[in-house]
Chain A
């Protein structure tokens, strides 16, 4: 069974979001997503300062099997990409919601609120996908 922490928000494309005390948002891929990808061997994270629209690909995660884009759930500016993942991409496999975070984003002021899923709805989604 995939882990789906109750305190996070989720997207239909298997990203998770955590709002930090300073108002920035941490983004990663879910436990379900890392399990589907298999062992991660290479991760490309975004440069600080990059401007993203909602839905833009901002990272590439490559497993032994395949390369996948990761999409930004929000419009905003990248504060930092996780620098530890270059040397330790497997952190996404072992700790998808912790050490495996991909970027921190400062949401654009006045951007429309995105359609995010709560934990219960995300669990329902992955159950429907057989996961």
Chain B
């Protein structure tokens, strides 16, 4: 039995092609996936991300709990409303999940975790929360919409009260706050500006339709994947999982080994890994010729050894194929990829491939 979001009926009414995504019936696309992609790069699109799990973490010692739970340092948050992206690791340094955490007040943080990992994430959090007296509350009463694109903030703000719109448009990047009964944050997974909006499930369909009327295009998971890959953002389960650590997943920037006195789960393993030297790294690939890079294709490295593509697609913005690949650390500037039995040249580039509508590689 697959699960459905509060928007499922509307997706069907809008003609979406529905697919099973991590046990959820989700819209893959409404019409052309490429048209949806371009709508986000050039105007605005809306995604149903209600399958992601919103978790409130409450208690007097919630900060101490999160300092030990996350590989990124919650102490970096200097103002209420600020968000932090990071990984929850196991003792071996493997990635249990990547998540965003918002600091709402000193006894209330809010996390957003992936749909496919929600059960194990909640179990892991509860296991470690007990000793801090932290309460873990799943917010299944909320729907979540991602409104993304250069015109997304203005169009979404037009649905708010005048005072609410002013507050929403004043949000700095990676900040969120309560506005008109919604939680609005200036975050996303597309490489464009925009908001993610958590709101009561009963309002979700009405708000989606109001966004459509304001010129925001309905977008499915297909476009979400090409957008995030162009933006060089990792996808849990493809680019990293419990068998890989952040240093070989392009996520070293989310690991805070300073201050050295902060103990967190996985720290000892990461320090040992770093002391031994990294064996593998996650890189961006740009296919030189025609064809499409796909996950699990083999990557041959001239410096020696083999790697594997973790995520690959056709980039609608660049009109060529791009990928993320885990390769031996010695890999230099070019590789060959085995696509259906033939070797194709690809160049190693530093992600992101596209940011704010502009190609960053050529």
Contact = CB atoms under 8 A, between A and B. Distances in A.
Interface of A: 38-39, 41-42, 60, 62, 64-67, 86, 93
B20 to A, nearest CB: 14
B292 A39 contact: no
A85 B226 CA distance: 23
Interface of B: 28-29, 32-34, 222, 226, 290-292, 294, 313-314, 316, 340
Contacts of B316: 64
Interface residue SS majority, chain A: mixed
Contacts of A64: 33-34, 222, 226, 292, 313-314, 316
* Listed residue (B33, B292, B316) with the most chain A CB atoms within 10 angstroms of its CB: B292
Question: Which 8 residue pairs are nearest across A and B when measured between Cβ atoms?
Answer: A41-B314, A39-B34, A62-B292, A64-B314, A39-B33, A64-B33, A39-B32, A38-B33
Given A64-B314, A65-B222, A42 B292 contact: yes
Given A64-B313, A64-B314, A38 B222 contact: yes
A42 B290 contact: yes
A64 B32 CA distance: 10
Nearest to A94: B32
Given A64-B226, A67-B340, A41 B292 contact: yes
B223 to A, nearest CB: 9
A66 B312 CA distance: 11
18 contacts: A38-B28, A38-B222, A39-B32, A39-B33, A39-B34, A41-B34, A42-B292, A60-B340, A62-B291, A62-B292, A64-B222, A64-B226, A64-B316, A65-B33, A66-B294, A67-B294, A86-B290, A93-B32
Nearest to A43: B290
A64 B36 CA distance: 13
Contacts of B291: 42, 62
B286 to A, nearest CB: 15
Contacts of A41: 34, 292, 314
A85 to B, nearest CB: 11
Contact of B29 (A38, A42, A62, A67): A38
Given A65-B222, A66-B294, A67-B292, 18 more contacts: A38-B28, A38-B29, A38-B33, A38-B222, A39-B32, A39-B33, A41-B34, A42-B291, A60-B340, A62-B291, A62-B292, A62-B314, A64-B222, A64-B292, A64-B313, A64-B314, A65-B33, A67-B294
